[in-house]
Amino acid sequence: MRLSPRRSTLAVLASLLLAASCDDALLPEPVTPTSSLVVSSSTPTSGNATLTSGAQVLAEGHVRLTEAVADVTHEIDVVWDPASGKVTSVEHRWTSPSGSTTTRCPSSGCNPSEIALDPDAKTVAFTDLDLVGTVMIVTPSRSTLDGTVQW
């Protein structure tokens, strides 16, 4: 049986669509990033937690891990210079029913020996990185990060 040119074109398009949908079926499912970050030595202690969510890319050189643990919401922001790969800012914010606290690298900068950034692997690892801040401008606050954030 011979198809008309129009039906022939439709048959070719249908077979291409079928082939494309078959190729899509062979693609692996995207891997959901997971972190393994322990926040300890926090003042106030509501900042202590183990965070396992993957981070989100907010901009080139900026990721944020956001996770709620019990009634406390944690945000870990990591900012780096994409050209040099140098981490320029790390910040931990946590909000509980009793208030909010922010800690960050000291004004002298983040200690590079406590941070291993690998943008190709989409990870940043911390080894006992101490962050400092204030609660209501009076009480000193702090937190320590140890582990890996993945995005």
Contact 92, 143 (CB under 8 A): yes
Q: Is residue 93 part of a domain?
A: yes
Rounded to the nearest 5 degrees, what angle is found at the Cα of 43, between the Cα atoms of 38 and 37?
10
Q: Is residue 20 part of a domain?
A: no
Residue span of the structural domain in which 77 resides:
34-150
DSSP state of 32: P
Q: Is residue 15 part of a domain?
A: no
Q: Is residue 91 part of a domain?
A: yes
Q: Is residue 63 part of a domain?
A: yes
Over its length of 151 residues, how does the chain's per-residue pLDDT go in tens digits?
Answer: 565 555 556 555 555 555 555 555 567 777 889 999 999 999 999 999 999 999 999 999 999 999 999 999 999 999 999 999 999 999 999 999 989 999 999 888 889 999 999 999 999 999 999 999 965 556 789 999 999 999 9
DSSP 57-100: EEETTEEEEEEEETTEEEEEEEEE-TTT--EEEEEEEEEETTEE
As for how many domains the chain has, the answer is 1
pLDDT for res 113: 95
Q: Is residue 110 part of a domain?
A: yes
Q: Is residue 13 part of a domain?
A: no
pLDDT for res 80: 97
DSSP state of 111: -
Q: Is residue 120 part of a domain?
A: yes
pLDDT for res 107: 83
